[in-house]
Structure 1
Amino acid sequence: MAEPLIEVEVVFAAVDRQLLLKVSVPTGTTLREAVRLSGMLEQFPDYKLEEYPLGIFGRVVAQPQTRPVQAGERIELYRPLLADPKEVRKMRAAKAAKAKAEKL
Structure 2
Amino acid sequence: MAEQAELQVFVSYALPQQEFVRPLRVAPGTTVGQAIERSGVLTAFPDINLVTQPVGIYAKKKTLDTVLREGDRVEIYRPLVADPKDSRRKRAAKKQAAA
Structure 2 length normalisation: TM-score?
Answer: 0.86
Q: What is the aligned length?
A: 97
CA RMSD, Structure 1 to Structure 2 (Å): 1.9
Q: Confirm or deny that 1:75 pairs with 2:74.
A: yes
1:4 shift after superposition: 3.6
* Alignment partner, residue 33 of structure 1: 34
Q: Percent identity?
A: 35
Structure 1: any 5+ residue segments left out of the alignment? Answer: none
CA deviations on 1:64-83 (whole Å, 9 max, x unpaired) are 22x21111100111111111
After superposition, residues 56-67 of structure 1 pair within 5 angstroms as 56-61=57-62, 63-65=63-65, 67=66
SS of match in other structure, 2:22? strand
1:97 shift after superposition: 1.3
* Alignment partner, residue 97 of structure 2: 98
1:3 shift after superposition: 6.7
The runs of at least 4 aligned residues of structure 1 exceeding 6 Å deviation read: none
More helix by share: 1
* Rounded Cα–Cα distance in structure 1 between residues aligned with 2:33 and 2:48: 15
Structure 2: any 5+ residue segments left out of the alignment? Answer: none
Please tell me the residue identity of whatever aligns with 1:92. Answer: R
SS of match in other structure, 1:13? strand
1:60 shift after superposition: 0.6
Structure 1 length normalisation: TM-score?
Answer: 0.82
SS of match in other structure, 1:21? strand
CA deviations on 1:39-61 (whole Å, 9 max, x unpaired) are 1111112332x322111111111
